[in-house]
Structure 1
Amino acid sequence: MQRTPNRPWWETGVVYQIYPRSFQDSGDDGIGDLAGIERRLNYVFDLGVDAIWLSPIFPSPMADFGYDVADYCGIDPMFGDIVAFDRLVAAAHARGLKIILDFVPNHSSDQHPWFVESRSSRDNPRRDWYIWADAGPDGGPPNNWISDFAGSSWEWDARTEQFYLHAFLKEQPDLNWRNPALKAAMFDAMRFWFDRGVDGFRIDVLWHIVKAKGFPDNPVNPGWTPEMNARDQVFQKYSTDQPEAHQIAAEMRALADSYGARVLIGEIFLPNERHAKWFGTPDRPEVHLPFNFQLIENEWNAERIGQLIIDYEASLPADGWPNWVVGSHDAPRIAARIGEAQARVAAMLLLTLRGTPTLYQGDELGIGKVDIPPDRVRDPQELRQPGLGLGRDRSRTPMPWNGSCHAGFSSVEPWLPLNSDWKERNVAAEADKARSMLTLYRRLLSVRRSTPALNEGTFTLIRADNDVLMFERKLGRVRRTIALNFSNEPRRIDSARGKVILSTLEGVGASGELRGNEGVIVG
């Protein structure tokens, strides 16, 4: 896979997120693993991406499916062992693919040896590796902070008669990054994986890692209703996005840069002006790519999408590189959210915007809504707040590979149900179909790779009205116009000049016209 000279691989490349539990089972237990990922590397390579991001594979009790880490320098046996990991890295690198690990710095598992020691007594040397506080004046929690999974962010520990902080489940106590020994241990964990050849980290909830001193109450949200996430009863003013966190991000960046061409991708849910600060400054850079979720979080219409692109681009610092995503292990499937026809338009948008795109496994097949029966629900978010539509199982269902038993994912019943149309919507069934979603993604990735203007060219918005989004990508004398119809009715695009290089639909429509739900690349 050729790179554009003098550009970092993470700027010209495309990231593919794998949820390891649901990619490929090689152990006949219904759960995906590292050997399964290695078995499917040719598929990933042939798709045309550049890097694989693996959701957590560390030892864990799995209260939150790996985001409760019990050992930052190991592999959970359900996924394999360190030998299997090293083999996967070597096999990926042999194909020119990068490996990005999911690093979870805000919290560990309550079964991590560090926390077992921390809660054993108030004078334990690791007591201050976590965040402890006395009860409030009424004997209750120290403040009004609310967990992202509902309920107080504080859990009472009867043995030591203090509360500990957990931004998520009580099984996920927050680490204290103000403690130098804890910080050093976490940086050692990052070095451990860099030394094994990983090419970067996606850093989970990075904006959470430091809390305001004194733990003041968060401001109450007057617009909250019971139909909303319980977390949103307050604005997270003091429990997230503290100034001191930027110094830590800068130190992480310095560590990554000391290993050469490594990338840090920070999970940051913030408004543009605060989000942009996580790039850092030229003399103190922070993460390379603060994750941008705006295509997931906003209404799907041309006017809104056009405006958010302009606003996001305007917010970037001069040396900031954009990035885009339309799906993840936490979000509803894009095809479920906007329908398969518009999911094809979304694919073209994602892969032609300026910046680094991240694909989520299965979106390239057009997997849509997956109903999870009540007795198969596994996600603690759904179990704690049922009926609010917050459940994440729907986007974590197993990858359907073919029409054989259990879709070729496993020889036994998978840990979550497959998409109901798996017999028709699977990799083997879509591989040779000219109009399949998989074929569209492969063609888009091929065009992107062969057109430097789509990798690193300038971006100019042409229009965002009457259901049409049009923009130009330009590098030198090479221009490409992308026109996207957000409607199921035809729309005129008289300003698009040139030959249609690729359409999201079969064949080519009338000159100067977009068919319903069509996107085109013209040049």
Structure 2
Amino acid sequence: MAAMKRQWWKEGVVYQIYPRSFQDTTGNGIGDLNGITKRLDYIKSLGVDIIWLCPIYQSPNDDNGYDISDYKSIMAEFGTMTEFDALLSGMKSRGLKLVMDLVANHTSDEHFWFQESRKSRDNKYRDYYHWWPAEKGTPPKRWSYFDVDGNAWKYDKLTDAYYLHYFSVKQPDLKWENPKVREEIYDAIRFWFDKGVDGFRMDVIPFISKDIEYPELPKKYKGNFVSYYSEGPRLHEFLHEMNQQVLSKYDIMTVGEAPGITLDKALDFVNEDRQELNMFFHFDLMSLDRDGDEVFWMRQDKWRLTEFKKIHSDWDKAFAEKGWGSMYLSNHDFPRSVSRWANDSPEHWHNSATMLHTFLLTMKGTPYFYFGDEIGMTNARFNSIEDYKDINTINRYELLKQNNISLVDFLENEKEAARDNARTPMQWDNSKNAGFTAEDPWIKVNTNFASGINVETQENDSASVLSYFKKMVQVRKSHLGLVYGKYDLLLANNEEIYAYTRTFESEKYLILLSFSEKETTVEVNEISYNKALLLISNDKVKAEQSNTRFKLKPYQALVYELT
């Protein structure tokens, strides 16, 4: 323990809220700040410590708040600054910490800075963004996530120039190479920290540095723009400067969203000696079930458990001696975890959801849960394009339509891959719209709220997914070895059982997780488990144990303390 510095953000459990979909109190079908305040006692009851709030800043909502038009104002749909202050106060009084979303790679095209920037080439805000004068010809190819044509350069007739947007045309990229831009961002960060906010999740933070000569994509990237975007020439200079000028002045946590960051680059961001970030989200797992470079298409063959294990084992090794990792299975950009990584059929849903809870809460690294995970919310699997609201799905649909490509396969793919699967409203009870709103919700509610996947039903059931989540959180909190302990993978080649130990000083734990639809028997020969104390199981039937042999039910999870 002497070599491991204890930190609240290492020991905390994070609960992510997508405000638009959490709780509506005004009847307009959109979740709001007062809705979150209304549910603070519920959140506290989960045992979580930190709330991560997706963007609530002023925004025209081209990308549901990730296109910010004012970093210091609240989106009118969500409420007022007074209501935010009341929400923050309510969190503090319950011992909950607040992490907000920092979107600093780009702004909305309706931000004052961009509105001024595009007025003339000599405007004082011109250099806040990346511009390419048309007289130089067509700018070198850059790929955009959300552009209908996949083109990250948008021609603007007003000044006869192109501006850069890695995301939507309404999300122009900020020019961090301009020190005035960096100070504007730092000022916004200080504004929220001075209010009492406890940290930031930093959206696509590796993308902030660009080569402002805008060369053709170097051949070494083999067409992979995401990797190129994540390796800008001044990236670590900017992150270190932000840490020294702002982050280090407060007792806060930082977690970066880090597409494109590979294992060999991990400690460049989170080695404590570098003074940059506390942790980040890698994307290796999020790519596991996708079709190679086609980041939005599901792969045709099923992913294997050995692949899943290897990803987590490799990343654990990266932080074995320095830095700190994060653990997540879903968020607002990806499908529901129980539908993606386990089995959401009625027969296996309960054990699947609780098995995944067990996994996140027994691995090393800060665990992040997405709202609704605690009750096992599943993919909505919409049948019609009219039901989707996400710019990503809609724009890709239009692109295929323009090119006369069959849309049947695309809509089937979206049932598993679409971001809107994670954005359907929170399922509170059995009433109309699952208790989310009295009127029409901004996006359809998953119909399975009436089948027991709601808070009210599960709160009254000691064997529910929700009740298990609360128990499992307390198991982690009461056993420090599950936070800081050394991780060792067992049964590495087994395609049905994920088994590992956590060892910390005199404590040792064995975790057995079934990823199988069948009853499975395994031999765990590395240690004698005769004196194993079962801390928790997600199945009412205890695993049959005979010395080193364990028989697990489908998707069963077991945590043993070895004495």
TM range (shorter): over 0.9
The 5 Å alignment of 1:413-452 reads: 413-423=440-450, 424-452=452-480
Partner of 2:146: 149
SS in structure 2 at match of 1:464: coil
**Alignment pair present for 1:328 and 2:331:** yes
**Alignment pair present for 1:392 and 2:419:** yes
Q: 1:180-223, CA deviations, whole angstroms, 9 ceiling, x for partnerless residues?
A: 11111110000000000000000000011111131112257999
Moved more, 89-98 or 274-283: 274-283
Partner of 1:377: 388
**In structure 2, what is the Cα distance between the partners aligned to 1:322 and 1:432?**
35
Partner of 2:513: 484
**Alignment pair present for 1:506 and 2:540:** yes
Partner of 2:322: 319
* Structure 1 pair 487–254 and aligned structure 2 pair: CA distance change class (3 A): same
Partner of 1:230: none
Cα deviation for residue 18 of structure 1 reads 0.2
Q: 1:356-388, CA deviations, whole angstroms, 9 ceiling, x for partnerless residues?
A: 010001122111120333223211101110225
Moved more, 340-349 or 292-301: 292-301
Q: 1:477-508, CA deviations, whole angstroms, 9 ceiling, x for partnerless residues?
A: 22111011121222334435512211121231
> Is the contact between residue 256 and residue 263 of structure 1 (CA under 8 Å) also seen in structure 2?
no
SS in structure 2 at match of 1:465: coil
* Structure 1 pair 503–128 and aligned structure 2 pair: CA distance change class (3 A): same
Partner of 2:434: 407
> Is the contact between residue 430 and residue 439 of structure 1 (CA under 8 Å) also seen in structure 2?
yes
Q: 1:101-147, CA deviations, whole angstroms, 9 ceiling, x for partnerless residues?
A: 0000000000000000000000000100000012376x43x011110
SS in structure 2 at match of 1:253: helix
The 5 Å alignment of 1:340-359 reads: 340=344, 341=348, 342-359=352-369
> Is the contact between residue 212 and residue 239 of structure 1 (CA under 8 Å) also seen in structure 2?
no
Q: Which 5+ residue runs of structure 1 have no aligned equivalent?
A: 224-232
Q: 1:378-429, CA deviations, whole angstroms, 9 ceiling, x for partnerless residues?
A: 1110111022535311210100101112211111111111111112210001
**In structure 2, what is the Cα distance between the partners aligned to 1:330 and 1:322?**
19
* Structure 1 pair 369–328 and aligned structure 2 pair: CA distance change class (3 A): same
**In structure 2, what is the Cα distance between the partners aligned to 1:108 and 1:15?**
26
Partner of 1:261: 251
Moved more, 126-135 or 362-371: 362-371
Cα deviation for residue 281 of structure 1 reads 4.3
Cα deviation for residue 304 of structure 1 reads 1.7
> Is the contact between residue 145 and residue 239 of structure 1 (CA under 8 Å) also seen in structure 2?
no
The 5 Å alignment of 1:78-157 reads: 78-135=77-134, 139-140=137-138, 142-150=139-147, 151-157=150-156
Moved more, 333-342 or 200-209: 333-342
Q: 1:411-456, CA deviations, whole angstroms, 9 ceiling, x for partnerless residues?
A: 1111111111112210001112233221221111111111111122
Identity of counterpart residues, as a percentage?
36
**In structure 2, what is the Cα distance between the partners aligned to 1:296 and 1:280?**
20
> Is the contact between residue 221 and residue 235 of structure 1 (CA under 8 Å) also seen in structure 2?
no
Q: 1:228-271, CA deviations, whole angstroms, 9 ceiling, x for partnerless residues?
A: xxxxx643454332131111111222345434320111000135
How many pairs are equivalent? 508
> Is the contact between residue 268 and residue 274 of structure 2 (CA under 8 Å) also seen in structure 1?
no
Cα deviation for residue 90 of structure 1 reads 1.0
**In structure 1, what is the Cα distance between the partners aligned to 2:192 and 2:422?**
28
> Is the contact between residue 354 and residue 456 of structure 1 (CA under 8 Å) also seen in structure 2?
yes
Partner of 1:33: 32
* Structure 1 pair 222–172 and aligned structure 2 pair: CA distance change class (3 A): closer
* Structure 1 pair 407–275 and aligned structure 2 pair: CA distance change class (3 A): farther
> Is the contact between residue 292 and residue 325 of structure 1 (CA under 8 Å) also seen in structure 2?
no
User: Paired residue for 1:363, among 369, 373, 386?
Assistant: 373
> Is the contact between residue 270 and residue 279 of structure 2 (CA under 8 Å) also seen in structure 1?
no
**Alignment pair present for 1:462 and 2:466:** no
Q: Which amino acid aligns with 2:393?
A: E
The 5 Å alignment of 1:281-292 reads: 281-292=271-282
* Structure 1 pair 136–125 and aligned structure 2 pair: CA distance change class (3 A): closer
**In structure 2, what is the Cα distance between the partners aligned to 1:153 and 1:326?**
29
Partner of 2:293: none
> Is the contact between residue 256 and residue 262 of structure 1 (CA under 8 Å) also seen in structure 2?
no
> Is the contact between residue 13 and residue 49 of structure 2 (CA under 8 Å) also seen in structure 1?
yes
Partner of 2:292: none
> Is the contact between residue 130 and residue 175 of structure 2 (CA under 8 Å) also seen in structure 1?
yes
User: Paired residue for 2:229, among 236, 239, 256?
Assistant: 239
SS in structure 1 at match of 2:324: coil
Q: With structure 1 as the length reference, what TM-score do the two structures score?
A: 0.92
Q: 1:325-358, CA deviations, whole angstroms, 9 ceiling, x for partnerless residues?
A: 0010000111222313333322211110011010
**In structure 1, what is the Cα distance between the partners aligned to 2:31 and 2:226?**
35
Partner of 1:229: none
SS in structure 1 at match of 2:61: coil
User: Paired residue for 1:339, among 339, 343, 348?
Assistant: 343
What's the RMSD between the two structures over aligned residues? 2.1
**In structure 1, what is the Cα distance between the partners aligned to 2:30 and 2:235?**
36
**In structure 1, what is the Cα distance between the partners aligned to 2:357 and 2:86?**
32
Moved more, 357-366 or 264-273: 264-273
> Is the contact between residue 355 and residue 555 of structure 2 (CA under 8 Å) also seen in structure 1?
yes
SS in structure 1 at match of 2:327: strand
Q: Which amino acid aligns with 1:516?
A: P
Q: 1:86-109, CA deviations, whole angstroms, 9 ceiling, x for partnerless residues?
A: 111111011111000000000000
**Alignment pair present for 1:218 and 2:246:** no
> Is the contact between residue 316 and residue 325 of structure 2 (CA under 8 Å) also seen in structure 1?
yes
**In structure 1, what is the Cα distance between the partners aligned to 2:5 and 2:538?**
32
**Alignment pair present for 1:165 and 2:175:** no
> Is the contact between residue 143 and residue 166 of structure 2 (CA under 8 Å) also seen in structure 1?
yes
> Is the contact between residue 512 and residue 558 of structure 2 (CA under 8 Å) also seen in structure 1?
yes
**In structure 2, what is the Cα distance between the partners aligned to 1:131 and 1:271?**
23
Q: Which 5+ residue runs of structure 2 have no aligned equivalent?
A: 290-302, 398-409
Moved more, 252-261 or 422-431: 252-261
Q: Which amino acid aligns with 2:336?
A: R
Cα deviation for residue 160 of structure 1 reads 0.4
Moved more, 457-466 or 119-128: 457-466
**Alignment pair present for 1:515 and 2:541:** no
* Structure 1 pair 507–484 and aligned structure 2 pair: CA distance change class (3 A): same
> Is the contact between residue 154 and residue 162 of structure 2 (CA under 8 Å) also seen in structure 1?
yes
Cα deviation for residue 301 of structure 1 reads 3.8
SS in structure 2 at match of 1:72: strand
Q: Which amino acid aligns with 2:275?
A: P
Q: 1:263-292, CA deviations, whole angstroms, 9 ceiling, x for partnerless residues?
A: 111000135335404425444321101113
SS in structure 2 at match of 1:194: helix
